[in-house]
Amino acid sequence: MQNDKKQGVLLVNLGTPDEPTAPAVKRFLSQFLHDKRVVDMTRWLWCPLLHGAILPIRAPKVAKLYQSVWMDDGSPLMVYSKRQVEKLRKRVDMPVELGMTYGNPSLQAGVEALLAQGVEEVIVLPLYPQYSGTTTAAVSDGLTKAFKNIPVMPAYRFIRDYHDHPLYIKALAESVKRVWEQKGKGDYLLCSYHGIPKRYADNGDIYPNHCDRTTTLLARELGLEPNQIGMTYQSRFGREEWLQPYTDKTLETLPGKGIKNLDIMSPAFSSDCLETLEEISEECREIFMENGGSRFNFIPCLNDDDLHIEMMAELIKS
């Protein structure tokens, strides 16, 4: 049966502060860290801790980090997300809008922008290659809330993940090869994924399985042996145990194992952002070099790379 509803695409990412200031960062982090998908602590314990200690201390520090990576047109995540939207519009014959789980433009604003163009069925593409309840499921929760405020809820299709999609793996491999051509091939390729608390995986989150699968397929695509590639988890927060091995701890030990020339990438991020441009490219470089490393090659995210956009178009068409 042919679908004659007018379709549109909602590209979704996590979100970003509106500006690199402490108040804007505080607003953004407050919304993000209030989500039970992200922090599942009992509210009466978590909220006083969040508002009394974490946000007042963390917001000014994080604002300074954002200032160090802020681009002329805004936050890197926002700049690259807008470029992805523009390029995707040219590839698919339907409206494409952007929505963020936290911050602006909101998921509701993205859906309303599509409805204003006569869209009756929304194809939702969260830009998280590997599924996690902390990210992908949070998009689904956010959409449910958004639909409560819309008189007629549109039909929608939800693309849950693409961690093993051939074009995604190919795009990652091509981004590595480009850096190898420009700077030479390192001794080792480290894939650093965003971490989640280990407890979430123990309770059934399939995220680490997806990260494993992506790394295995990338190794195969690049023809790398197991001793030439590895995976770790970054960006842990709080005191509880997160998925291991940790990126920072691993970087301390690699030079001692004879790995002096390192290539590093973050396959879980579809756009460069604070966690890649500052945490990986700056902080992690420092850790590696201080512990005896010679060369640290940061491989940018796929951003608005043509193969990345082609993959999105393929996901939408299928």
Residue numbering of the annotated binding site for Fe(2+)? 194, 275
Nearest-5° Cα angle at 244, 243 to 246: 110
Annotated binding-site residue numbers: 194, 275
> What distance in Å separates the CA atoms of residue 150 and residue 144, rounded to the nearest whole number?
10
> What distance in Å separates the CA atoms of residue 228 and residue 231, rounded to the nearest whole number?
11
Q: How far is CA 276 from CA 66, 139, 156, 236, 287, in A?
A: 12, 22, 31, 14, 15
Q: Is the peptide bond before 56 cis (omega within 30 degrees of 0)?
A: no
| SS3 call for 227 | helix
Q: Are 247 and 192 in contact (CB under 8 A)?
A: yes
Tell me which residue of 179, 167, 215, 135 sits closest to 300, measured CA to CA. 179
| Strand order, beta sheet including 96-100 | 96-100, 7-13, 121-126, 155-158
Residue 2: what residue type?
Q
Q: How far is CA 21 from CA 14, 15, 101, 166, in A?
A: 19, 15, 20, 40
Q: Are 294 and 261 in contact (CB under 8 A)?
A: yes
Burial class (CB in 10 A: 0-12, 13-18, 19+), 164: middle
> What distance in Å separates the CA atoms of residue 31 and residue 39, rounded to the nearest whole number?
11
